[in-house]
Structure 1
C-alpha cells in the first residue's frame, strides 16, 4: 500500500488570486507516476488542500484506490476511515481528466470587465453541455460494495409550490454493508427558456446491509423545476422516470 500526499500551498493558490494551471506544482506529478509504476496494484493518494488538481493527471494514468482531499474543513477526510465508518461520500465538484476539457477556464478581463456568460451552465451543468468526459463527475463516489436501483416512481402530477416524493428500491448486490446516495435529476430539453441538460433536484442517503433492499424516498420541491421571470414560472410537461448509473 503506497500513500502519496500531494497538493498546493498559499504560494500557488489562495482565495485572493487565481492559479495559472491545474497541474500540481513542482515535480509532484512525477512522484505520483513513479509510485504508480513501482506499485501498480496497490496505491493511495491524498491531497492536503486546494482543488482536485491531481485528478487531472490521475485519469490519464491509473486512479488511486482512495482520494482524500480537504475541501475547506480540516481533517474531515481522515477521521471517517479511522473510526471504521463505511465509505459513502459523494464529490461536490467535478474533477477534470484534462485541463483543456474544463468548460470555463478563461476568465481574463476585457477592458476591466470579466464577462460571466455561462448563465445556468456552471459546474457539472457546464460539463454536461460541453460533452467532455471528466475524471470524476459531480456526485460520484465509491464504497466497498455495489448497488442496483430499480422501481423508480414519481407522481404523474404536481402543483406549483408542492413537494413531491420520488421513490426507488435500492438493492445492495455486494458482500458488504454499505451506504448509497440516491440522486434525482430533472431535464427539460424542449423548455421555453435556457435550461441545463440535467440538474440536481433532490438526494437521500441510505444504509443497506449486504443482500438486502431498501425503499428510499427523495423529496423534490417543485420550485426546483421552475424558472425565474418576474416571479417563479412553471412549464406544464409530462413526467417520466428512469434510473441510470452515475456518470
Structure 2
C-alpha cells in the first residue's frame, strides 16, 4: 500500500495529477508546459472511433430537440415550392407540425486554442477516515482511467495552488492570455442554459460530456496563441515539490492520498 500525505500548499485543498508518457512527465517536472490544440483531441476520437483522450465534441455546443415552428428565408423572399416540400417532409418524419432538430457546432477559434490538461482532486473528493481525510480511486475510476490512459506510463503529482501560480506568473510575464478552470460535465440530452451561453464567450472549452467525468479534468487554455502542433509553449521553472509515480502504482485500490484533519476545519 502506498499512502502519500499532502501539504495544503497555496492555502487550498487541491492536487494535480498529470498522466503521461515517461518522457513527457519528466519534461513537465522541468517546467515545460506542453500543449496541443483542442482540434487535435476532436480529430483523435474521430480517427480512432473511441472516446478517451480524444473527444469529438470538445468545445462544441450540443443542443437537442430544437423545435422550429416557422421557417422563413433570411433574404426575405418567399419560400419556393421545392423548399416547402422539403420542410413538409421533415414535419412528416417528426410526426408533428414542428420540425425537431439537433445542433452540434464548433467555433474555429476554439478548435485552434492550445490547452494543457490534467486531473484535479479537490476538497470534496476526500473522505474523513480517523484523523485524516483520504482519497482513493474507486474500482470504476481505475477501470475507466486505465482504459482512457492506456498508452501512458507515469503520473506527475503536485499541489494545485503551486502549479497554477507558476503558470500564472510565467504567462503574465510572457504576455500570454490564459484561462484556468476545472471542466464542468454535462448530460448532452439536457440543454443547460449556462453551457449554451458559454458558447458565445468561449468558456464552452471548459465543458465536456459526462462520459468523461471520471477524468476530473483541470484545463489551462491559451486563447489567441497560435501553434501548428504539439509544443512546449512555456517553461515555468522546475517543479521541485512534485512527485513522479508509475501509473500502475496510482491506479490501484491500495493507493491513497491524505490530508491532516486540521486542513478541513
TM-score bracket relative to the smaller structure: under 0.3
Q: Which protein is bigger by CA-based radius of gyration?
A: 2
Q: Which has the higher helix share?
A: 2
Q: Relative contact order (alpha carbons < 8 A, sep ≥ 6): 1 or 2 greater?
A: 2
TM-score, normalized by length of structure 2? 0.19
Higher strand share: 2
TM-score, normalised via structure 1 length? 0.20
